[in-house]
Homo-oligomer: A and B are copies of this chain.
Amino acid sequence: MRTDTTFKRAFNDMIDIIRTLDLGEELPSENALRAQLGVSRTTVRKVLAGMSARGIIISEAHRRIIGEQPQQIERYPKEETLAISEQVETSFMEWMLRGDACPGTEINEAELARKFGVATTIVREFLNRFQKYGLIEKRQNAGWVFKGFTASFALELFEIREMFEMRSARLFATLPDGSPVWKQIQSMRAAHLELLADIDARFQDFSELDSRFHRLITAVAPNRFIESFQDVIAMVFHYHYQWNKRDERARNEVAIGEHLALIEALESRNIALIDRACRLHLTSARETLLHSIA
* Chain A interface residues toward B at CB < 8 A: 6, 39-40, 121, 124-125, 128-129, 131-132, 134, 141, 147, 153, 156-157, 159-160, 163-164, 167, 222-226, 228-229, 232
Residues of B within 8 A of A153 (CB): 224
Q: Which of B6, B121, B125, B222 contacts A141 (CB 8 A)?
A: B6
Where chain A touches its partner, the secondary structure class is helix
Q: Which of B124, B156, B225 contacts A160 (CB 8 A)?
A: B225
State in angstroms the CA–CA spacing of A35 and B153 once bound together.
31
Q: Would you call B167 and A163 a contact (CB within 8 A)?
A: yes
- Knowing A125-B125, A163-B163, A163-B167, say if A134 contacts B225 (CB, 8 Å): yes
Residues of B within 8 A of A132 (CB): 131-132, 228
A162 to chain B, nearest CB (A): 10
Residues of B within 8 A of A40 (CB): 141
Residues of B within 8 A of A232 (CB): 225
Q: Which of B6, B39, B125, B134 contacts A124 (CB 8 A)?
A: B125
Q: Would you call A226 and B160 a contact (CB within 8 A)?
A: yes
A41 to chain B, nearest CB (A): 13
Q: Which of B125, B141, B223, B228 contacts A159 (CB 8 A)?
A: B223
Residues of B within 8 A of A164 (CB): 163
